């Protein structure tokens, strides 16, 4: 599953949980004071579960600094999307060199993922 599919799945589960929670609260015999609590729990739980699964599978949940090296040898200062190495501009280039700091950062994050999964 790539990151676009994961984002779509997360959005759909959030929408489905909200509708499911509202249906459950409207069509069951629960005391009135519990409706808000039950609806909130049913709406939030699937999203938290999806985020936990993504984190356990090694998906980055937020981006960071672009890992590409610029023509003057410094690291690109633009931000990159999650699970990508480069910003929008460097992704469109075919011959991109990763900056040594970016490579080290990527290997550190993979080592951290391995430690967490053990």
Residues 53 and 68 in one domain: no
DSSP β-bridge partners for residue 68: 98
The residue out of 11, 30, 57 marking a domain boundary is 57
Give residue 8's domain range. Answer: 3-57
Query: Which residue has tokens 């190495």?
Result: 85
Residue 113, pLDDT above cutoff 70: no
**pLDDT (mean) for 74-100:** 83
Closest CA to 71 of 97, 100, 105: 97
Mean pLDDT of the chain: 77
Residue 110 — pLDDT band, cuts 50, 70, 90? low
Domain count, the chain: 2
Structure tokens at 72: 């003057």
Q: Are residues 95 and 51 in the same domain?
A: no
64-77: b (≥16 Cβ within 10 Å) or e? bbbbbbeeeeebbe
15-55 pLDDT, tens digit per residue, is 777 777 777 777 777 777 777 787 778 778 877 887 888 77
Query: Are 85 and 113 members of one domain?
Result: yes
pLDDT on residue 30: 72
- Do 59 and 50 form a contact (C-beta atoms < 8 A)? no
Question: What SS3 class is residue 30?
Answer: coil
Which residue, 21, 41, 57, sits at the end of a domain?
57
């Amino acid at each position: 599953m790539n990151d676009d599919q994961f984002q779509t799945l997360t959005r759909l589960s959030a929408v489905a949980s909200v509708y499911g929670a509202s249906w459950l609260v409207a069509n069951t015999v629960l005391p009135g004071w519990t409706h808000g609590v039950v609806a909130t729990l049913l709406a939030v739980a699937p999203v938290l579960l999806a985020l936990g699964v993504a984190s356990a599978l090694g998906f980055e949940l937020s981006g960071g600094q672009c890992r590409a090296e610029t023509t003057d040898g410094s690291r690109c200062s633009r931000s990159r999307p999650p699970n990508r190495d480069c910003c929008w501009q460097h992704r469109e280039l075919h011959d991109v060199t990763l900056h040594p700091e970016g490579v080290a950062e990527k290997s550190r994050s993979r080592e951290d993922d391995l430690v967490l999964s053990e």
